[in-house]
Amino acid sequence: MTLGWHSRQMPVERARLRSLIARERASYAVAHPRSSDLFRAADHLFGRVPMTWMAKWSGGFPLYLERALGNRIVDVDGREYVDFALGDTGAMAGHSPKPVVDAVAERLEQLGGATTMLPTADAEWVGAELSRRFGVPLWSFTLTATDANRWAIRLARLATGRPKILTFAYCYHGSVDEAFAVVGPGGAAVSRAGNAGAPVPVRMTTRVAEFNDLGSVEAQLAHGDVAAILTEPALTNIGIVLPEPGFMEGLHELAGRFGTLLVIDETHTFSAGPGGATQLWGLRPDILVIGKSIGGGIPSGAYGISRDVAHMIEEHPEADLIDVGGVGGTLAGNALSVAAMRATLEHVLTEEAFTHMVDVATVFTRGAQDAVDRAGVPWSVSQLGARSEYRFASPAPRDGSSSAAAGDEDLDEYFHLSLVNRGVLITPFHNMALMCPVTSRDDAQLHTRLFADALDELVGTG
């Protein structure tokens, strides 16, 4: 028997892992004949899926959705799942929360006017609530977090007159060209593997640093051409990489010293609490971006700017923010999306909801960490409020590059499949689990049992 050690840190026998994956794939195929048939019949979809990333689900084909309510999903084969993927945060409010359904039905069915190009009173309510939660005073709406980031970047360039954006290696901010960069020779920004059809080489638009390394940030800002630092307060798309004490304060100080704006993307880190990590950690961004969950499942996004940034934009002699300025979207801020945001913030993702979600995520995290400790594998489990994630490295990586190096697609597939085959979904991207307002401690403990069983089988104690 050969032991195929993946790395010095990972005592996993590769042959055993491969045979477990084969077993789980076979059960998955047998259990989901209707999903498999629908996938195979999708001759008119590029990659056989509505959006290319949906092919990322493990098992060779995605589950087809029949219905979803709260934190339960039922697929077209009639199987039910406890959903910890929650639409990769798009459904952090739970599926079809009643207040959102009512608000959407009222707007769509009774009042009418999903999209009219006219404002509704809900917009100011949402702007005021986002200001109260995130401390940023002036808001505009979008339909996706990607758009909110793109427009934030545009405005930062306009406000500062500088061309470049500083991002962190292995960050993700949606399909934002400037952000697909990693650290190359001499600290230069180089394209991340797989970045397809980039408009220009990333070194022309981007400076890149390592998360938790203020020295690398300072060295890049010293070039004097950076309009904005664009970052999540904790990286969440390469596992969870939490900021070390002083890192976010240091970023703020460096941004101020070099005349660079600080753009905080709270799209995922909203899981930290009602005002995201910004409120929890007392951050002071110049621009704040949020999307996904704030519409309770209805496409919605927003970006908030400080009064100083607003002033810099308004002062600009040539800014066209109506038409050709690169900031727009005919359906942005539409009445339906804004009604959904209001209902979500007013009635669903409330302070009480977050208290519960964080409590359940703590149960989830402890359960997963105990299973890891018992199995004796050097892995780590990180939590950010309502979000938890295991990563195949211990201690937890402190920057994007080392977290990327700890990635293991075979292990991901094994855990995803063994959970899905037993009624639990986690995100198809790495190993994230998210709690919504109706996720229970029992749900978290179900995951603990299944994860511990899968782990025991893998390391040979099962």
Ligand X SMILES: Cc1ncc(COP(=O)(O)O)c(C=O)c1O
Q: In this structure, are residues 368 and 389 in contact, taking their beta carbons and an 8 Å threshold? A: no
Measured CA to CA, the distance from residue 372 to residue 367 in angstroms comes to: 9
Q: Which is nearer to ligand X, 107 or 173 (CB)?
A: 173
Does residue 239 belong to the site contacting ligand X (CB under 6 A)?
no
Distance, in Å, from the CA atom of 409 to the CA atom of 388, rounded to the nearest integer, reads 18
Nearer to ligand X (CB atom), residue 35 or residue 212: 212
Q: By CB under 6 A, name the one of 237, 334, 439, 448 that touches ligand X.
A: 237
The one-letter amino acid code at 233 reads: P
Sign of CA pseudo-dihedral 93, 137, 126, 172: negative
For residues 61 to 90, the per-residue mask of contacts with ligand X, x marking binding by CB under 6 A and - elsewhere, is ---------------------------x--
> Quick one: which segment of 67-75, 169-177, 340-348, 453-461 binds ligand X (CB under 6 A)?
169-177
Minimum Å gap between C-beta 91 and ligand X is 12
* Residue 63, C-beta contacts closer than 8 angstroms, at least 6 positions apart: 32, 35, 57, 73, 75, 76, 77, 420
Q: Which residues lie closer than 8 Å to 402 by C-beta, 6 or more apart?
A: 393
> What size, in residues, is the chain?
462
Query: Nearest residue by C-beta to ligand X?
Result: 174
- Nearest to 437, CA basis, from 98, 91, 93, 100: 93
- Contacting range for ligand X; rule: CB under 6 A; set: 114-122, 143-151, 355-363, 380-388: 143-151
- CB neighbours (10 Å) of residue 422? 17
Structure tokens of 39? Answer: 């996938």
**146 belongs to the binding site for ligand X (CB under 6 A):** yes
Does the footprint of ligand X cover residue 173 (CB under 6 A)? yes
Q: How far is the CB of 292 from ligand X (least distance, A)?
A: 5
Work out whether 232 is an interface residue with ligand X (CB under 6 A).
yes
Question: Is 400 a residue that touches ligand X (CB under 6 A)?
Answer: no
Interface residues for ligand X in 278-307 (CB under 6 A)? 291-292
* Shortest spacing between CB 265 and ligand X, in angstroms: 5
3-class DSSP state of 119 = coil
**Least distance from C-beta 171 to ligand X, angstroms?**
8
Q: What tokens appear for 95 in the block?
A: 């599926």
Locate 53 and state its tokens. 């990333």
- 265 contributes a contact to ligand X by CB under 6 A: yes
- Give the residue with the Cβ less far from ligand X, 170 or 414: 170
The answer to whether 22 and 59 have CB atoms below 8 angstroms apart is: no
Residues contacting ligand X: total by CB under 6 A: 15
> Can you give the binding site for ligand X, defined by CB under 6 A?
88, 144-146, 149, 172-174, 232, 237, 265, 267-268, 291-292
